[in-house]
Amino acid sequence: MTCFTLRASGLICPTGGELRYHLVMKPGMSSLSCYRGRFAPSPTGPLHFGSLVAAVGSYLDARAAGGEWLLRMEDVDEPRSMAGAADAILRDLESLGFAWDGEVAYQSRRTAHYRAAFERLRLDGSVFACACTRREVADSTLGPDAAPRYPGTCRNGLPPGREARAWRLKVGPGMVCFDDALQGRVCQDLAAEVGDFVVLRADGYFAYQLAVVVDDAEQGVTHVVRGADLLDSTPRQICLQRRLDLSQPNYLHLPAVVNAAGEKLSKQTRARPVDAIHPQASLVAALEFLGQLPPADLMGADLEDLWRWAIMHWNRSHLPRCRIAQAPAEF
């Protein structure tokens, strides 16, 4: 990495963020690192095994590299956020022994930042107002995997008599590709598969795609480690980063956790909340899911020892190289 400008207080990253010294040294590891990771749960319900895996994976990848780990509550979608869920997630993370750097960021308090980015896009003609309803888009063109693709109805102006609802980013032709640290090279023909996508929603909230890009850049995030259920969103985010002249973080998409029916764990699929009262069992299960195999005696160890082992032994090459994997039965 090309980021090492040493200062008394730490390191200056290309993104301008300062990083601290890491907590646990691995043998042979440099004592300085330029890595800022994050965990960004949506507070739509309690922490479940799927979100725990993303938390553990992003935490260990950051700490093993000597990096920082930030926490961001992705409550930009206020209608979907559940009262009390953000606090419950924070309490659970604390009980599970996670230690984050700095203050927790809340997307619901960052609207001005999203608006500034949106205004930039509007002024340079990158976005347009769209009158189409969800139903109209769903009833129109389908992309290759049968997902609705925006057919460009309002790209050149609203149809007569229709009113603006959402704002969409104009997507140009060509593949958007990136090298994922686990999944390898990923490419998407955004125009053919997704089409112009929403950045400001009909209900007035900024879309997740815009918020995440603005936040990752402004928070100086250098590495995004998250579930592969978001792999399809990454080309949209890269497209936005390019339009907004923001640097592109490194990506690593962990296998997304599914239940026995192959459904992604979520509140809708009635995923069980993680047991933060007995954190060892949940953490060991998450480590095993990630191919990191703690010795049996660590199950009874105290949390600090478990984390110390996990940071020391974190090994990306043991991660399962797949996009989805099944949760253990108890989750």
Proportion of the chain in helix, strand, coil states, percent, rounded to 5: 35, 20, 45
Contact of 231 with 183, CB cutoff 8 Å: yes
Among positions 22, 110, 226, 243, the unique one binding ligand GLU when judged by CB under 6 A: 226
User: With respect to ligand GLU, which residue has the nearer C-beta, 42 or 292?
Assistant: 42
Residue 316 CB, shortest distance to ligand GLU, in Å, is 18
Residues 20-49 that bind ligand GLU (CB under 6 A): 40-42
Residue 249 CB, shortest distance to ligand GLU, in Å, is 10
186 touching ligand GLU, by CB under 6 A = no
The 3-state DSSP class for residue 54 equals: helix
Angle at which helix 49-64 crosses helix 279-289, to 10 degrees, equals: 70
User: With respect to ligand GLU, which residue has the nearer C-beta, 71 or 276?
Assistant: 71
Residue 116 CB, shortest distance to ligand GLU, in Å, is 20
For ligand GLU, how many residues bind (rule: CB under 6 A)? Answer: 7
Residue-wise DSSP of 163-216: ---EEEEPPPSSEEEEEETTTEEEEEEHHHHT-SEEEE-TTSPBPHHHHHHHHH
Residue 11 CB, shortest distance to ligand GLU, in Å, is 24
Residue 313 CB, shortest distance to ligand GLU, in Å, is 24
Contacts of residue 297, defined as CB under 8 A and 6 or more positions apart, other chains included, come to none
User: With respect to ligand GLU, which residue has the nearer C-beta, 67 or 152?
Assistant: 67
How many CB atoms are located within 10 Å of the residue 65 CB?
24
* Cβ-count burial 164-183 (b if 16+ within 10 Å, e if not): ebbbbbbbeeeebebebebb
Sign of the Cα torsion 291, 294, 299, 302 reads negative
Residues 190-219 that bind ligand GLU (CB under 6 A): 212
User: With respect to ligand GLU, which residue has the nearer C-beta, 56 or 298?
Assistant: 56
Residue 179 CB, shortest distance to ligand GLU, in Å, is 18
Four-CA torsion 7, 11, 17, 20, nearest 10 degrees: -110
User: With respect to ligand GLU, which residue has the nearer C-beta, 74 or 92?
Assistant: 74
Residue 93 CB, shortest distance to ligand GLU, in Å, is 13
Residue 251 CB, shortest distance to ligand GLU, in Å, is 10
Residue 57 CB, shortest distance to ligand GLU, in Å, is 11
Strands 18-19 and 10-12: antiparallel
User: With respect to ligand GLU, which residue has the nearer C-beta, 44 or 95?
Assistant: 44
Among positions 13, 47, 200, 230, the unique one binding ligand GLU when judged by CB under 6 A: 230
How many CB atoms are located within 10 Å of the residue 77 CB?
19
Helical H segments across the chain, by residue range: 49-64, 85-95, 111-123, 134-138, 190-193, 208-218, 234-243, 279-289, 303-313
User: With respect to ligand GLU, which residue has the nearer C-beta, 76 or 132?
Assistant: 76
User: With respect to ligand GLU, which residue has the nearer C-beta, 17 or 45?
Assistant: 45
Residue-wise DSSP of 156-167: TSPPTT----EE
Here's the x/- map for ligand GLU, 48-77, by CB under 6 A: it reads as: --------------------------x---
Rounded Cα distance between 97 and 304, Å, is 7
Applying CB under 6 A, which residues contact ligand GLU? Answer: 40-42, 74, 212, 226, 230
